Amino acid sequence: MTTQKIITRFAPSPTGYLHIGGARTALFNYYFAKHVGGEFHLRIEDTDKARSTEAATQAIIDGLAWLGLTYDGEIIFQSQRADAHIAAANALLDAGLAYRCPLEGDALDAEREKCREAGQAFRSSYRDQNHSTGAIRFRVPEGQTSLTDHVQGNITWENTELDDLVLLRADGTPTYMLAVVVDDHDMGVTHVIRGDDHLINAARQQQIYAALGWNIPQWAHVPLIHGPDGKKLSKRHGALGVEAYRDMGYLPSGLRNYLVKLGWAHGDDELFFDDQAISDVFELDGINASPARLDFDKMDFINGQHIVHTDDKVILGRLLDYLSPNEISEQKLKRLSAAMATLKPRSKTLKEMVEQADYLLVDRPLTLEGKTAKPLRRDGVIELLTALTLQLKALESGAWSAETIQRLLTDFAAENDIGFGRIGQPVRAALTGGRPSPDLSEVLALLGKDECLGRLTDCLDVLSDN
């Protein structure tokens, strides 16, 4: 006895970017296929020539690549499969399960209105005629259409509620509803996992599968993502392209973790740092039937945890995309690498990490003004900074560490009979220019001896001139 291979697919229309809802649908398909040792395929549904663009197609491909979703085989382009779609429509026509309908324009509108007034789904007056021209329409059978959905449960439609839909337009081009069925069948798709806005389409497509004598795939219709206010997700909520989240500084692993948890649960588990860990436990029955709400606070938290758990070298490599050319030098990257232990726990995104690391990357001389300069205007600051600079200069480079510097600073404050803040605040101002920074001893250690002495000297020069 052979076990059927599980095959899923992600089938976006290339009319825009890979938005966050589409990315989650792709993830669910990807993880389920990997969970059962199956295959995950990509199909571009580009039959709408007026709206499909090469740029959008590339954005989808690039978005999946950045997310780390690798599809099996070659990309299927729906527009290249018209012959198969047409053959299926003609097969239904020959079997009497579809018919020709020449109605169009005002005549079609009038007949639609007549059916609406009668409270009926559309049935063409040509349904029982053997007409030789016009669009090919599916002949909806009598009775009911029932399906079992992994997310939505058991659903039944009265067939009298479903229109005789067009399979092949009068100009010979196939419609989406037919193309999807033929493509899924020919690709061997066993599980169709998609948004629940396609639920009614499942009823129509199941009828076409049955009419063609093909195996019907299993269905899983996932509730759409809503904004934090519970309303349909829009751009103002964050219905952006995956590339926008990349630009905001999210890690692919962090966004994957957040999105897969947005409507799917496995016990109380929230964090998955190993991608395989999700694949090991992902089941369709764990998908929630209620809409999930986008939560940027949770997204930030999960991403921050992934930053902490990701290898320093990987983080450093990704940070390069957020640095300006003058922020990339051997010395500055060395500082960044050494600062990972302090930067990672303080950062929810890579962009935030760059902001936290600004004191390490800024070029001399630093601008010292406004609130930042206030600690430098106090009486006796020039004398204290001069004395401390001399002590730091005398410290051996080999002994330049956070621990040694902390002892030096503490002893200096005691020797001069001052509170630590009296010297700590002006030193921090001189070294960081008011930028976010960790403990002062860490700041000095990470900047290095030469850079610290240079910044302190610059500061003293400015204070002396004033």
Do 271 and 322 belong together in one domain?
no
Does residue 2 belong to any structural domain of this protein? Answer: no
Q: What pLDDT, in 10s, does the model give residues 98-156?
A: 999 999 999 999 999 999 999 999 999 999 888 989 999 999 999 999 999 999 999 99
Q: What pLDDT, in 10s, does the model give residues 30-67?
A: 999 999 999 999 999 998 888 888 999 999 999 999 99
Residue 357 domain boundaries: 311-363
Q: Which of 255, 270, 305 is the last residue of a domain?
A: 305
Do 115 and 16 belong together in one domain?
no
∠ CA 237-241-242, rounded to 5°? 110
Please state, in angstroms and rounded to a whole number, the distance separating the CA atoms of residues 124 and 164.
8
The answer on whether 371 is annotated among ligand-binding residues is: no
Do 108 and 136 belong together in one domain?
yes
Please state, in angstroms and rounded to a whole number, the distance separating the CA atoms of residues 430 and 408.
18
Do 209 and 105 belong together in one domain?
yes
The share of the chain scoring above pLDDT 90, in percent, equals 84
Do 128 and 202 belong together in one domain?
yes
Do 273 and 349 belong together in one domain?
no
How far apart, in Å, are the Cα atoms of 236 and each of 178, 226, 298, 315, 359? 34, 11, 18, 29, 33
Do 93 and 195 belong together in one domain?
yes
Does residue 448 belong to any structural domain of this protein? Answer: yes
Does residue 1 belong to any structural domain of this protein? Answer: no
Q: What pLDDT, in 10s, does the model give residues 1-10?
A: 457 899 999 9
Q: Which of 274, 305, 336 is the last residue of a domain?
A: 305
Does residue 174 belong to any structural domain of this protein? Answer: yes
Decide if 232 is catalytic. Answer: no
Q: What pLDDT, in 10s, does the model give residues 83-104?
A: 999 999 999 999 999 999 999 9
Nearest residue to 306 via CA among 249, 227, 364, 368: 249
Does residue 182 belong to any structural domain of this protein? Answer: yes
The Cβ of residue 282 has, within 10 Å, a number of other Cβ atoms equal to: 22
Do 30 and 14 belong together in one domain?
yes
Q: What pLDDT, in 10s, does the model give residues 409-462?
A: 999 999 999 999 999 999 999 999 999 999 999 999 999 999 999 999 999 999
Catalytic residue among 5, 49, 232, 235: 235
Taking each helix axis from N to C terminus, what angle separates 449-465 and 381-394, rounded to the nearest 10 degrees? 160
Do 126 and 255 belong together in one domain?
no
3-state SS of the chain: helix, strand, coil percent to 5?
Answer: 55, 10, 35
Torsion of CA 447, 451, 455, 461, to 10 degrees: 160
Does residue 49 belong to any structural domain of this protein? Answer: yes
Does residue 259 belong to any structural domain of this protein? Answer: yes
Report, in angstroms and rounded to the nearest whole number, the Rg of the chain calculated over CA atoms.
32
Q: What pLDDT, in 10s, does the model give residues 323-367?
A: 999 888 999 999 999 999 999 999 999 999 999 999 999 999 999
What is the count of structural domains for the chain? 4
Please state, in angstroms and rounded to a whole number, the distance separating the CA atoms of residues 129 and 99.
8
Does residue 131 belong to any structural domain of this protein? Answer: yes
Do 174 and 279 belong together in one domain?
no
Q: Place 299 in a pLDDT band, splitting at 50, 70 and 90.
A: very high
Instruction: Please say whether the beta carbons of 18 and 64 come within 8 A.
Output: yes
Do 53 and 111 belong together in one domain?
no
Torsion of CA 366, 372, 375, 378, to 10 degrees: 80
Do 427 and 382 belong together in one domain?
yes
Mean pLDDT of the chain: 94
Q: Domain of 65: which CATH number?
A: 3.40.50.620
Please state, in angstroms and rounded to a whole number, the distance separating the CA atoms of residues 242 and 147.
33
Please state, in angstroms and rounded to a whole number, the distance separating the CA atoms of residues 103 and 105.
7
Q: Which of 260, 288, 305 is the last residue of a domain?
A: 305
